[in-house]
Amino acid sequence: MARCWQDLGGADAGCAHQALWKLVAAAGQAIPWIGKECGDVPSSTVARLIHRLDHQRYAVRARATKELDRLADQAEPALRQALTRTESLEVYQRLVKLLARVPFAQRRSIRAVTVLERIGTREARAVLARFARGKGRAWLTQEANAALVRLAKRPAGRR
């Protein structure tokens, strides 16, 4: 799952396409994985991680950076806001690098919506419906809504 998830966001469209279909084939594992990876993260969690970017211990800063990198597309508004407020050069540099990763994370999330749409089961539709009710990430909400509309028009029994 982790390898497919990584490949799904990659710039290599062929590799991403293969990952997409591997995830579709492993629907039982892929649906909860995508639901967890693309799900909303509490703003308090993001704020805590951003605060840790300025921790005195390197290991704490590195862990916070790694976690924010994983959440880049979900944390984008808070990262942009923190960028305007920080006085620390190191935090500023970390925020700039994290924000540069947002398009990668968005591409992966949008492709994940495609995986869920291709699977098309009740469970996949439930995850899409949760994304469609999203807050803060309008692009993901719109993609999920569009997928649900397409699924509603699909003949019964067709994948």
Average pLDDT, the chain: 91
What digits encode the pLDDT tens for the residues 109-144? 899 999 999 999 999 999 999 999 876 566 788 899
What digits encode the pLDDT tens for the residues 77-110? 899 999 999 999 999 999 999 999 888 888 888 9
In 3D space, the residue among 114, 125, 141, 131 whose CA is nearest the CA of residue 13 turns out to be: 114
What digits encode the pLDDT tens for the residues 61-82? 999 999 999 888 888 889 999 9
Global confidence as pTM: 0.78
Q: Residue 99 class from Cβ within 10 Å (0-12 exposed, 13-18 middle, 19+ buried)?
A: middle
For residue 48, what pLDDT band results from cuts at 50, 70 and 90? very high
